[in-house]
Chain A
């Protein structure tokens, strides 16, 4: 798999079967399965990368591969950046066996069970409900010019349920979702539908939060997003290498309190699990922040060679797309505070619950994310509910403002976008207390 002038090449083929079901107000809007077969061939020329993205590649066809490698080499000819690759760590984790394999169930059965969750959301006062199921089974084959090969199959699936309540022109929503690599997870999940409905109804009576700087308690879901947005992205080796991360040049520096350890671990059997990364590298736990100090960056082989400080094994890619440095399962380690201690220490502030997602500018070191809702905290007690609360801040000052970490961590699943690619991730944390959070809200008092 080589031609003169090629220092390294690899091929990653992803054959995927995707199933979705969409039930909207009791109507099965769509349900079906689609197929894709995509591949990316990377060629490292004398300087940088030439890449070819194609459908339906047969990597065993020498004629086809020679033609694509030549094409890749020609593209690499316009590059100027000298790219080097670190030696790969090899080894693969076993993909956990599903408890109930979604592929063994009929589309009818999946639709029937999803429908039960959607119906459960329609409690009195709810005007609109919707439930969706997504499932993606990927067969991955990887090989490179060293002769290394791996192949595996993984199926990810899950659901989300949405409920909308309306009163006097005001509309509010509640949403719940669960995704997993461990098999069909929709059975007995009707309470999630009910919870979405109850949240939407409760939000009709919630006031808008008054924005400003205050003490904030983040629940495990939102604190997980905080770890992902505020620290995870800034630790990605490609951003550090480009000079667009506030964590560049800070290895060993204390950026948070001693109770703070932040980890990314693609080998953990959570939603962001990868048995091996998109460059055929072994995946393992990386402590990005260790007891408050910047400990390591996340890497592909290219960024590890350029920067050091960390492990490769964090390259992830959609089919036909290049491996980028990505997070997988990112979390804040458990601390030593009880929830009572956290509320008591907060005294007057806000509790932020759930996540509608977030975004970060890692170069500027500014992040933003939205909670699903919140509660005021008054004299150490949870008080009235508030809606549309968000949190923004500067990464470095906010990390120093972490006062307490709870004892119990929970993980939540989602998808993370970067460079036009979306990958499954999970984030988690115990409850945390921030001393000086910038909370957004349009309320007057």
Chain B
């Protein structure tokens, strides 16, 4: 039925515009929620979404609908949208490519059954029991699978299966909170570990002591780092932001912009949440090196931005669901470099941050409240800190880091290690 509908839309759209693109998502999911230690809610979901894009003489129109029966209305809306947009240089939607490499986005073992979600909750409860002073406030476990199709009037018709599993737990001990999560396209998350960590952080931080204000070395966990990179650095790497004059990295192409130990890339073939063999416009996806040994080597482009500014498309279009049109983003942002022991000398470990979305994406300045700040020394956790506010500028901080720790974990659309930063301002 999906193939038939897509063909019908491509044919109808082709009568009014030079090019047509159809993006279709169908998915099912199940989740279960904990309130304190009891399962309170179980939810099943079925999603269907269609997005149409049509292009004629450099004008691009978009619309979306969640109703198969309304595809004609959706196409009409895309056409009237097209008439309003400013025409631009346009060199066409992609032609079909020989996609030899498949991306690791699907695990056939992931079946959205309530019992599986229930199993995640049970695992987290068991893990949390290792720190009995912590109480569980809420948690969730979920499994989903979807089929995503992109097709266009040039003959592109790619379909990918995607799966996603996740679990998360929130805990409290006195007035100290803890949280942990895991997500993956594969049935490879460890609910026991999630439960144990969430409970550990609440329990350990409950004995937090005040700290002095001043500059300190900081160990940002992958979760804390992902928050800052996602809110400040990723927008600055977008070709659109760069050409619009809103990126601090714009004048630095080919120059050193970060510590020489840092490699930063978007790897759509990495085992992460954004794994895909083609981007949201049907452009074959490939590894994109943003920063190599500290030197800024490229920005991210979708078709529209690349054509407008004479740049090479980088297959960096992503969609935040079916209803939004394609926009520049990252599939799997990977930070890498020489690994070393970064916790032997005293530093403040930050598990997560509160308020990263309030950072200034243009200047890179941020000021965030630390979650579970803990002193580390000799490679392990030492005394917890009661309250710490971290201020700084991310672009400046990345120019001279203190080292990259071992390992990496999936946090949203990134795969990150723990990174040590030198002398950042902390208000105790």
Residues on A close to B: CB < 8 A? 18, 21, 24-38, 48-56, 71-72, 74-76, 78-81, 83, 107-108, 111, 127-128, 130, 164, 166, 169-173, 208, 211-213, 239, 241-244, 246, 320, 322, 356-361, 363-370, 387-390, 392, 394, 438-442
Contacts of B323 in A (CB 8 A): 18, 34, 36
Minimum CB distance partner of B135 in chain A: A243
Q: Is the CB of B64 within 8 A of A34?
A: yes
Contacts of B70 in A (CB 8 A): 35, 37
| Partner pick for B358 among A107, A169, A357, CB 8 A cutoff | A357
Given contacts A32-B84, A390-B389, A442-B367, 14 further A-B contacts (CB under 8 A): A18-B323, A26-B86, A28-B86, A35-B65, A52-B45, A74-B114, A78-B42, A169-B251, A171-B245, A171-B363, A211-B213, A357-B357, A364-B177, A388-B360
Is the C-beta of B32 less than 8 angstroms from some C-beta in chain A? yes
**In whole angstroms, how far apart are the Cα atoms of A441 and B325 in the complex?**
37
Q: Is the CB of B177 within 8 A of A244?
A: yes
Which 9 residue pairs spanning A and B have beta carbons closest together? A32-B81, A440-B367, A370-B358, A368-B355, A390-B367, A128-B245, A81-B40, A81-B38, A368-B369
Contacts of A364 in B (CB 8 A): 172, 175-177, 371
Is the C-beta of B69 less than 8 angstroms from some C-beta in chain A? yes
Contacts of B138 in A (CB 8 A): 242, 244
**In whole angstroms, how far apart are the Cα atoms of A393 and B3 in the complex?**
55
Contacts of B357 in A (CB 8 A): 357, 359
Contacts of A50 in B (CB 8 A): 41-44
Is the C-beta of B73 less than 8 angstroms from some C-beta in chain A? yes
Q: Is the CB of A244 within 8 A of B172?
A: yes
CB distance from B20 to the nearest CB of A (A): 15
Is the C-beta of B159 less than 8 angstroms from some C-beta in chain A? no
Q: Is the CB of B244 within 8 A of A25?
A: yes
Tally of A-B Cβ pairs under 8 angstroms:
268
CB distance from A210 to the nearest CB of B (A): 10
**In whole angstroms, how far apart are the Cα atoms of A299 and B392 in the complex?**
39
Q: Hey, what's the 0/1 contact readout for B354-389 against A, CB within 8 Å counting as 1?
A: 110111101101111101000000000000000101
Minimum CB distance partner of B40 in chain A: A81
**In whole angstroms, how far apart are the Cα atoms of A169 and B137 in the complex?**
46
CB distance from A172 to the nearest CB of B (A): 6
Number of chain B residues whose Cβ lies closer than 8 Å to a Cβ of chain A: 78
Q: Is the CB of B67 within 8 A of A370?
A: no
Q: Is the CB of B74 within 8 A of A51?
A: no
Q: Is the CB of A438 within 8 A of B41?
A: no
Q: Hey, what's the 0/1 contact readout for B120-153 against A, CB within 8 Å counting as 1?
A: 0000000000000001011000000000000000
Contacts of A394 in B (CB 8 A): 387
Q: Is the CB of A37 within 8 A of B425?
A: no
Contacts of B393 in A (CB 8 A): 442
| Partner pick for A81 among B39, B49, B74, B86, CB 8 A cutoff | B39
Contacts of A79 in B (CB 8 A): 38-42
Contacts of A53 in B (CB 8 A): 43-47
Is the C-beta of B391 less than 8 angstroms from some C-beta in chain A? yes
Residues on B close to A: CB < 8 A? 30, 32, 35-36, 38-49, 60-70, 73-74, 77-78, 80-81, 84-86, 88, 114-115, 118, 135, 137-138, 170, 172, 175-177, 213, 240, 244-246, 248, 251, 323, 325, 354-355, 357-360, 362-363, 365-369, 371, 387, 389, 391-393, 425, 427
Given A31-B81, A56-B66, does the pair A368, B325 have CB atoms closer than 8 Å?
A: no
Q: Is the CB of B355 within 8 A of A51?
A: no
Contacts of B80 in A (CB 8 A): 32-33, 107
Q: Is the CB of A356 within 8 A of B39?
A: no
Q: Is the CB of B176 within 8 A of A76?
A: no
Q: Is the CB of A71 within 8 A of B66?
A: no
Q: Is the CB of A390 within 8 A of B84?
A: no
Contacts of A34 in B (CB 8 A): 62-65, 74, 77, 323
> Can you show 10 pairs from A to B with CB atoms below 8 A apart?
A36-B323, A55-B46, A56-B48, A74-B114, A78-B42, A83-B40, A128-B245, A242-B36, A244-B137, A370-B359
Contacts of A357 in B (CB 8 A): 355, 357-358
Given A36-B323, A83-B40, A392-B389, does the pair A368, B358 have CB atoms closer than 8 Å?
A: yes
**In whole angstroms, how far apart are the Cα atoms of A27 and B246 in the complex?**
15
Minimum CB distance partner of A244 in chain B: B137
CB distance from B169 to the nearest CB of A (A): 12
Minimum CB distance partner of A76 in chain B: B42
**In whole angstroms, how far apart are the Cα atoms of A383 and B41 in the complex?**
54
Contacts of B355 in A (CB 8 A): 357-359, 368-370, 390, 392
Contacts of B387 in A (CB 8 A): 366, 394
CB distance from B77 to the nearest CB of A (A): 5
| Partner pick for B44 among A28, A48, A52, A241, CB 8 A cutoff | A52
Contacts of B64 in A (CB 8 A): 34-36
Given A32-B61, A169-B251, does the pair A37, B358 have CB atoms closer than 8 Å?
A: no
**In whole angstroms, how far apart are the Cα atoms of A130 and B241 in the complex?**
11
Minimum CB distance partner of A72 in chain B: B44
Given A48-B41, A166-B245, does the pair A107, B84 have CB atoms closer than 8 Å?
A: yes
CB distance from B315 to the nearest CB of A (A): 20
Contacts of A127 in B (CB 8 A): 245
**In whole angstroms, how far apart are the Cα atoms of A242 and B41 in the complex?**
14
Q: Is the CB of B175 within 8 A of A390?
A: no
Contacts of A171 in B (CB 8 A): 245-246, 248, 362-363
| Partner pick for A369 among B62, B73, B358, B371, CB 8 A cutoff | B358
Q: Is the CB of B42 within 8 A of A388?
A: no
Q: Is the CB of A33 within 8 A of B42?
A: no
Contacts of A29 in B (CB 8 A): 85-86
**In whole angstroms, how far apart are the Cα atoms of A119 and B63 in the complex?**
26
| Partner pick for A390 among B35, B48, B86, B391, CB 8 A cutoff | B391
| Partner pick for B367 among A49, A108, A367, A441, CB 8 A cutoff | A441
**In whole angstroms, how far apart are the Cα atoms of A359 and B240 in the complex?**
28
Q: Is the CB of A28 within 8 A of B43?
A: no
| Partner pick for B88 among A27, A211, A243, A365, CB 8 A cutoff | A27
**In whole angstroms, how far apart are the Cα atoms of A105 and B325 in the complex?**
23
CB distance from A292 to the nearest CB of B (A): 21
Minimum CB distance partner of B213 in chain A: A212
CB distance from B94 to the nearest CB of A (A): 20
Minimum CB distance partner of A371 in chain B: B358
CB distance from B360 to the nearest CB of A (A): 6
Q: Is the CB of A164 within 8 A of B245?
A: yes
Contacts of B32 in A (CB 8 A): 78
**In whole angstroms, how far apart are the Cα atoms of A118 and B88 in the complex?**
19
Contacts of B248 in A (CB 8 A): 169, 171
